[in-house]
Structure 1
């Protein structure tokens, strides 16, 4: 039930860490979504029930849609987050870290039938516990995973600069060091900023303010800014 970290490398040579969510936070998000669906279904059925048989027929279609389609629009068009996932701080993404698209979202949600067996997500829970990245069967088949949404404080603190890729591939710890330095540089005296940036002259090929701007440009590129 513990959360795990999945490290992947993009074609551009950038290492990413996906903090996979374990069974407990996923269960919390599911309970919230279940409660919201139950409330919505109850209200709609109460209203449609006043229409007699026609209303009940429509109500059955509504229940089907609420159960099977509820998550898909949120996952595809709301940054991979249902209301429950947003409250808990989770997101559905593809296994390579890219945003989930329509087909994988539909597949993972249709396979809830399998994960829900023999009741209360027994198969899904067992699969989450056995899989190193906490995925249920629907996630494995669809090529998706549920990850924690990490705080964006560092991103917000890094000054805006035209992004520029480093001239040489960097190890993950080197990438993290550059982003951390760029995010905290404003808290340092200007002379200290230049002093630290000069240490990375072999990477930037610049000294002084030019080297500092180069490091910030690299940090913007590592953060995916354009």
Structure 2
């Protein structure tokens, strides 16, 4: 009886000191699963979207202005506005220009002071200024309203110039006739820079 007890205790002690080789094999397999020789990754790809221009506004200097021989200016009745959405993901930026088909009043110029370009991008809410236009160009040329300096991220951009900063500058003795005068405005949105434009 003592021999059996001693033999059993020796067998138990052997198991504690020398675990089964199968346990080592399991540990080795687990190690190979946690640290594979070939790295694993997560990936995703995107294709570029569109660059679009929406919500462009007209310019209205009012319909009941008195004719004057003196030099004077008329302010617009509403702000100048436009919305640009850049989903290209190119980070090239974009340029927004504006021109008129001809002078609204002979000898008179349309001037546009700097406004705001506000956007909420994927990284932050940002704002920059538009370019001031001393004399709105005629078609065939163009005036840059927004250069592509601060608008190179994906996002929706809101362009706005206050009404008081948009003026029709009429010189003295300008040819003013009764009735409504109109000229066509042309907005142009181009990806990247247009260095040839003023």
Provide the TM-score with structure 2 as the length reference: 0.25
Higher relative contact order structure (alpha carbons within 8 Å, sequence separation ≥ 6): 2
- The structure whose Rg is larger is 2
Provide the TM-score with structure 1 as the length reference: 0.22
Structure in which a larger fraction of residues adopt helix: 1
Structure in which a larger fraction of residues adopt strand: 2
